[in-house]
Structure 1
């Protein structure tokens, strides 16, 4: 799938299958079905039909080279999360990633490790912002006139 094309937002059920694929990919329908059944019962044909729909939507890619079709997620988990969060930020927070992050942090407590990661990200962003706003250095070297 090309990065410039629009990826549809997966449903909750599709996200559940994508999570399995991100953990196990590539995987056959049987492997995905078995992993899904660890949490809740589901029918094999239901999983197959969902994967067929997800293939048509461009959420998964199917390899038909072998007898058992093998599936993998069309996008990495990180890229899918970024796309979903960007869309959420636009729709609910007027495009402000900072407001989305503040809201998310106010909802659930963060561990010390997570807070350390957040602090490190803020520091990286601060350094980048400061380097973007510094005036270009003037050269003190004077060229001799011919």
Structure 2
């Protein structure tokens, strides 16, 4: 999948599942369910359904080990972020990145120190925002 440009829009719960897989590399349905039960109160059956749907979409793949399914992500977190931000940018701001940044500044989602780091980043620095 590397190098392919894909639309990857995920719900909040799907993102939570993916975060577990990104952190662990690979996890069984039960392991993902344990994490999400503790974090969000999700039941094992809900997590299993989410994983099955993500597999059908091609963003995770599974392998069977005895009686357990183990899943791993087939897309990276940066790929999902890029895709989802691009979709947000296009749908809400007509593709105008400056309008998005202006909105974030106006809504105080970006603090003064963040703006300094963003300026350095725009000038080619290595600072991560």
TM tier, smaller: 0.7 to 0.9
Gaps of 5+ in 1: 126-146
8 Å contact 2:6–2:83 — kept in the other structure?
A: no
**1:49-94 superposed Cα distances (whole Å, 9 cap, x missing partner):** 1101110011212233x22222122211111101111111111111
The residue correspondences of 1:1-146 to structure 2 (distance < 5 A) are 1=1, 3-4=3-4, 6-64=6-64, 66-67=65-66, 68-107=68-107, 108-110=109-111, 112=113, 114-124=114-124
Q: Could you list the structure 1 runs, at least 4 aligned residues long, displaced by more than 4 angstroms after superposition.
A: none
Query: Given the superposition, is the C-alpha separation of residues 104 and 4 from structure 1 closer, same or farther in structure 2, using an over 3 Å criterion?
Result: same
Q: CA RMSD in A?
A: 2.2
8 Å contact 1:89–1:95 — kept in the other structure?
A: yes
Query: Given the superposition, is the C-alpha separation of residues 100 and 29 from structure 1 closer, same or farther in structure 2, using an over 3 Å criterion?
Result: same
Gaps of 5+ in 2: none
**1:100-135 superposed Cα distances (whole Å, 9 cap, x missing partner):** 1221233224373x334312212129xxxxxxxxxx
Q: Which has the larger radius of gyration?
A: 1
- 1:140 is aligned to none
Q: Structure 1 length as normaliser, TM-score? A: 0.72
Return the alpha-carbon distance in structure 2 between the equivalents of residues 109 and 19 of structure 1: 24
8 Å contact 1:61–1:71 — kept in the other structure?
A: yes
Higher strand fraction (1 or 2): 2
Q: Structure 2 length as normaliser, TM-score? A: 0.80
